[in-house]
Amino acid sequence: MAEQFHRAHRVAGIGPTIFATMTAEAVRTRAANLGQGFPDEDGPAEMLQIAADEILGGNNQYGPGPGVQALREAVARDRRRRWGQQVTADDVLITVGATEAIAASVLGLVDAGRQVVVLEPTYDAYSAAIGLAEATARPVRLRLAPDADGVRRWSLDRAAFAAACAEDATAAVILNSPHNPTGTVLDRDDLEFIADCVRGTGITVISDEVYERLVYDDDLHHTAFATLPGMAGQTVTISSAAKSFNVTGWKTGWAIAAPELLAAVTAAKQFLSYVGVTPLQPAVAWALDNADEWSENWDATLRDRRDRLAGVLRATGQEVLGSDGTYFLVSDIAPLGLGISGEEFCRLLPSAVGVAAIPVSAFVVADAADDPADPVRTLVRWTFCKNDTTLATAAERLSGDAADGTLADRIRTARSRLRS
């Protein structure tokens, strides 16, 4: 008889991520994958060549624990030049992607039994890291309301956020702007409000800024949270090469903080991976110093692709919510009249239509995801960071033709077949 192994309680409720699940379904059905946020185009050619040369040149052993000095210096230069964040290489820790930086920050700075305030919808890695630290995620739901043009947009619920920060159990806040999954870019006024709530409280702010270069509204600009008055010594800033230079598989990120905070993050990180991938780090350093033109062109390309995808989604009968940054658009399927959740829609979509997407309910607490009255229930996240061929394929499949029927017709047919 096979021995029954015990699963530790800290991972007992953790299964495959929604991203892994939907990407596997996209592969199985050969669907155009507009679910998981990775580009299918590489970053700057010279950056890739430098990485190849480093590997072939023998730079393949452990690098320094804090990261290769050239990359740490390049990160610091980039933060000073781009955002006015006054840091040096000594304030930079290179990590295995932003995900490790998040996990190490939570593990190093949040005690068991405390709570971490997160903006909901919440990227799932935050909740997982908080759970591994045996702390509790304290969600503050972003408000969803029409703007002056009637486009529904997400915004900070200031009263709810202030109340969460005032709770004795709060040890940290995880911010994410530009925000995954909503595409929201918090403006400076909102960020200053957040700073006012935490300043002098002992609450650490973990600011995930991986989409810092991807802001499309000309009236909005990314603000590095640590540059706000009094926040430099209270903030861990996180970013990575993945979203800036189209190398999600390189898993090269960084955490930036004052010495006392960075020491705590380093203490946790060094026993997660010890070091990142050594030969890739000089290549990322080159990109930070030399790839601004590539970055600006990529930003313009993504803006165009966002607008094209939004038009396709509207043409199918969905409502498209406002998105000012990141890789993502959110739509509401309620106008299709299907009477189903976004999760069910996304599970039917790859086989019925040949496209994959992610339900926004995957980014909220279980009670909210199961509540038929919660507006998140019918929301779907789509990514537009794919190449023109993938987007054109997805557009053609979503639009269909007279023989196929509408998108809603094809989803109804697929649902009926499953039920029969």
How much of the chain, in percent, has pLDDT values that exceed 90? 88
Mean pLDDT of all residues in 22-29: 85
User: What confidence score (pLDDT) does residue 2 get?
Assistant: 54
User: What confidence score (pLDDT) does residue 201 get?
Assistant: 96
3-state SS string over 269-311? HCCCCCCCCHHHHHHHHHHHHHCHHHHHHHHHHHHHHHHHHHH
Orientation of helix 188-198 relative to helix 158-166, angle to 10°: 20
User: What confidence score (pLDDT) does residue 389 get?
Assistant: 96
pLDDT class of 3 with cuts at 50, 70, 90: low
pLDDT class of 99 with cuts at 50, 70, 90: very high
Window from 38-42, 224-228, 233-237, 327-331 with minimum mean pLDDT:
38-42
CA-angle at 224, arms to 309 and 248, nearest 5°: 50
Does 294 have pLDDT greater than 90?
A: yes
For 26-78, the pLDDT digits (tens) are 889 899 999 988 999 999 999 999 999 999 999 999 999 999 999 999 999 99
Does 1 have pLDDT greater than 50?
A: no
- Read off the pTM: 0.95
Query: 370 or 310: which carries more pLDDT confidence?
Result: 310
Domains in the chain with CATH codes? 16-42+293-415 (3.90.1150.10), 45-290 (3.40.640.10)
pLDDT class of 366 with cuts at 50, 70, 90: confident
Count of other CB atoms within 10 angstroms of residue 2: 4
CB 310 within 8 A of CB 394: no
For 368-410, the pLDDT digits (tens) are 888 999 999 999 999 999 999 999 999 999 998 877 889 999 9
pLDDT class of 419 with cuts at 50, 70, 90: confident
